[in-house]
Structure 1
Amino acid sequence: MSDIALTPASKTAQRRGTTSYHAGVAAEQIAQRRYEQAGYTLLAQRWRGKAGEVDLIFSKNGETVFVEVKRARDFAQAVERIGPAQMARISCAAEEYAAKLPRGRLSLMRIDVALVNGTGACHIIKNAFGA
């Protein structure tokens, strides 16, 4: 059995991937603090269902809030990183999670997007996928 050597290009890609992962985790922590400071209780982090993953799930006053966290250099770039296919996956995952709640899909819930820019500022768009 031989070891597979990484090429310089694959090492660079691996470093970028690791850096992006840690930046994403930091952005989730920033968003989590914002929600907790506003009185929300964290129910789950990176909850994964059959349909996909939800970054953060909170509860406050009987409402379940599903949060997608997006990080970029600025807020405009962050919001552009959410496409229709991802919105559909997040919505399906949220419905899957809601099915386990006492009132099921009749539960009070919303999907927010937390945008985190390069300086660590956080802007929350409440009910980002709804009317």
Structure 2
Amino acid sequence: MEGKPGNKAIGDHTEAVAARYLQSRGVTIVERNVFSRGGEIDLIGRDGEVLVFFEVRYRGAGSLAGGAESVTPTKQRRLVRAASFYLHRNGLWNIPSRIDVIAIAPGDVKKYRIQWIRNAIQA
């Protein structure tokens, strides 16, 4: 049965778009869709010497709020917990890290508008 793609398919696609965008800007993607007791991290990458946890948010043309605005305080706490758990589990407490948001929306001429918000969430 064909029809509109489901949320999982849209999420997978936009995470792939975000990964390509980040790689084109020098980020090395280390892992994707990391699940832990702390929660899910969409992408983990290296931006120079910094380990970066990326939250990818897509909002369609009819959305009232943009992708960045959709990261609620509850989601922020989950991301901080998931990143902390990842750092602890992998013994990476001593390296610099941050949490960024990649907001993706439909574009006009280009296929997508992408906004990279560095240090979007403070731990």
TM range, smaller chain: 0.7 to 0.9
Cα distance in 2 for residues equivalent to 1:60 and 1:100: 21
Give the aligned residue type for 2:53.
F
* 8 Å contact kept, 1:101–1:107: no
Equivalent AA in structure 2 for residue 128 of structure 1: A
Residue equivalent to 1:129: 121
Partner of 1:53: 40
Q: Distance in 1 between matches of 2:113 and 2:78?
A: 26
Gapped regions of structure 2 (runs ≥ 5) = none
Deviations 1:27-53 (A, max 9, x none): 111110111111111111000111100
Q: How many residues align?
A: 116
Paired residue type of 1:105: W
Instruction: Provide, for residues 5-40 of structure 1, a one-character-per-residue CA deviation record: whole Å limited to 9, x for no partner.
Output: xxxxxxxxxx76x52221111111111011111111
Unaligned runs of 5+ in 1: 1-14
Q: TM-score scaled by structure 1?
A: 0.78
Q: Report what 1:43 is aligned to.
A: 30
RMSD across aligned positions (CA): 2.2
**If you compute each CA radius of gyration, which structure gives the higher value, 1 or 2?**
1
Find 1:118's aligned residue among 106, 109, 113. 106
Are 2:114 and 1:107 aligned?
no
How far the C-alpha of 1:101 sits from its partner, in A, is 4.2
Tell me the amino acid that sits aligned with residue 56 of structure 2. Answer: V
Q: Identity over the aligned pairs, expressed in percent?
A: 26
Q: Does 2:78 match 1:70?
A: no
- 1:123 alignment partner AA: Q
Q: Which has the higher helix share?
A: 1
- Structure 1 outlier segments of 4+, above 6 Å: none
